[in-house]
Amino acid sequence: MQETTYEEHQSNKPLRLRLTQSERLRRHPAPIRKRRDRRRPPNMLRAALSRSASGLRRSPAMAAAAPLSTAAAASWLSNGPASSPPRVRLLIGGEFVESRADEHVDVTNPATQEVVSRIPLTTADEFRAAVDAARTAFPGWRGTPVTTRQRVMFKFQELIRANMDKLAENITTEQGKTLKDAWGDVFRGLEVVEHACGMGTLQMGEYVSNVSNGIDTFSIREPLGVCAGICPFNFPAMIPLWMFPVAVTCGNTFVLKPSEKDPGAAMMLAELAMEAGLPKGVLNIVHGTHDVVNNICDDEDIKAVSFVGSNTAGMHIYSRASASGKRVQCNMGAKNHAIILPDADKDATLNALIAAGFGAAGQRCMALSTAVFVGGSESWEEELVKRASGLVVNSGMVNDADLGPVISREV
């Protein structure tokens, strides 16, 4: 039986035929939920809501997007005596906890030399607790459907967008780059979060039938377990976002070590990730220098390590971590050259050379250090020097600053 309905009665369009419910059931016998069930959220959301009563975050589909509040931003900082800067906490098992470390490192504003916070040198017991939290969370997170893990990333990127200005301000305060560069720092990391939103497709395996008589082959992509990331100071938002969003959306759990020079952006991002629905223990953060790096390299529960930074540190990490059987990737320093040919557009080329050489005060692995002028373009060198000399160096918070200070005297 078919049922006809009018649509746009006064037009000359033909009548549209619509199948009745009984006809649909005969053709596609899928069960229809009762009315009382239609008002209930799917199983995943019901589970997320019940977990929220025991302290976990709400599901990303149920949480509202809102900029990070002042109170929320303070949860990863603890206030000491009035005369002391705030202390950065650890993230272990979904909680921001005060470290019991006796040693701390000052986080300094490069433009003002003001100490804005202090980070602890994570103790061995605290590091062990972070790894244990990640290891404990792994079975449940691995068993979570990839579509559910993707939803966390969809919510995460929404929250990052809502807090771009706050993240950029923190980066400029701790790292020194201009607000424009800091905003780009966050945005480039955001692109990786958006990439992780498609993990269901990226994790698809392969199947080939009859590769030999009666033999089919297939591959399955599975998470490794606990992974770790060691970050440099020059991109305090982008590089953490290179690491943990893809790793956790694949089903791994993660221990992150931000740079001791500018940890604030990573802490803010971790807070947003938990607000987006990342369960307790999936992401953990420790602080420190050489000792905690060596602990990451040596720990048997950590299955893979990602590092971005200097050649010296990268060679040490690659050698030590791979010796303990880990998968290791190290993205280290570079030497970048530009060759300028005489048929290049002069104005566009000089602007590109200035941006490539002096962006972020030159503190990036892709910074241009050598320009080779050939075929008559040597005459452009004088103009290049003139433009470079005209760059305004100032606090990154100042609107007309072309570049801010380097992060420290050592750099």
d(CA 406, CA 303): 35
The number of residues in the chain equals 411
CA dihedral 277→280→281→286, nearest 10 degrees, is: 90
Measured CA to CA in angstroms, residue 259 lies from 65, 109, 343 at distances of: 28, 14, 43
Residue 273 main-chain phi, psi, to 5 deg:
-65, -40
In single-letter form, the type of residue at position 41 comes to P
Annotated catalytic sites, by residue?
365
Tokens of 295: 């602990």
CB-count exposure of residue 360 (10 Å: 0-12, 13-18, 19+): buried
3-class SS of residue 322: helix
Q: How many helices (H) and strands (E) does the chain have?
A: 15, 17
**Contact status, residue 326 vs residue 304, Cβ threshold 8 Å:** yes
3-state secondary structure of 142: helix
Q: Decide: 365 and 398 in contact? Cβ < 8 Å.
A: no
